[in-house]
């Protein structure tokens, strides 16, 4: 898997983790709401049954105290459950954050490696091009020297031919 695919894979995993955390949070909220509704329903049913059995107002004060105690116990139970669920959610989020931080470190190191690898390739190509440019300059200089020598030889031969074909060459012989 090359670096680009690794980066895309890590980004996709982060999206998946975020979705999972959101789903867990929504699920916990629904459970707490359902639990609260169930407790409220049980409380009202309990109060209704007490009212039906007692029927009179003589023990109303004791009943109200019991209802208040039941309400307090219910609130304490719900609060404890919410706290426990929140602690669990915090642990899950901490684990996800730790995992994301690890993946971010890996991602960062992959980017650094990719950049250094890319810079190395660029430097190699620049060096290769410099070497090729130097070789081309040397080739041009060699060709120029060869051409100058050929032209000088041709001029020399033409001059020699001209002087030898003409009267000057015959007189000097």
**pLDDT in the model for residue 58:** 56
pTM assigned to the model: 0.35
**pLDDT in the model for residue 54:** 63
Q: Is residue 59 part of a domain?
A: yes
Q: Is residue 15 part of a domain?
A: yes
* pLDDT above 80: residue 57: no
Q: Is residue 73 part of a domain?
A: yes
Q: Is residue 149 part of a domain?
A: no
User: CA 38, 44, 50, 52: dihedral to nearest 10 degrees?
Assistant: -120
Neighbours of 172 (CB within 10 A): 8
| Domain residue limits at 42 | 3-118
Per-residue 3-state assignment (H helix, E strand, C coil) for 120-144: HHHHHHHHHHHHHHHHHHHHHHHHH
Q: Is residue 134 part of a domain?
A: no
Share of the chain above pLDDT 90, in %: 1
Q: Into how many domains does the chain fold?
A: 1
The residue among 172, 149, 144 whose CA lies nearest residue 160 is: 172
Length of the chain: 173
pLDDT tier for residue 173 given thresholds of 50, 70 and 90: very low
**pLDDT in the model for residue 47:** 84
């Amino acid at each position: 898997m090359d670096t680009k695919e690794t980066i895309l894979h890590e980004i996709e995993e982060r999206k998946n983790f975020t979705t999972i955390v959101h789903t867990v949070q929504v699920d916990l909220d629904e459970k707490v709401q359902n639990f609260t509704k169930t407790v409220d329903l049980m409380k009202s049913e309990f109060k209704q049954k007490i009212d039906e059995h007692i029927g009179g107002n003589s023990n109303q004060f004791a009943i109200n105290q019991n209802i208040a105690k039941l309400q307090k116990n219910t609130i304490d139970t719900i609060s404890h459950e919410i706290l426990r669920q929140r602690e669990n959610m915090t642990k899950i989020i901490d684990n996800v954050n730790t995992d994301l931080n690890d993946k971010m470190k890996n991602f960062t190191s992959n980017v650094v490696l990719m950049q250094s690898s890319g810079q190395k390739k660029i430097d190699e190509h620049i060096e290769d091009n410099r070497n090729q440019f130097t070789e081309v300059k040397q080739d041009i200089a060699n060709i120029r020297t060869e051409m100058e020598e050929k032209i000088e030889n041709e001029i020399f031969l033409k001059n020699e031919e001209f002087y030898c074909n003409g009267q000057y060459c015959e007189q000097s012989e």
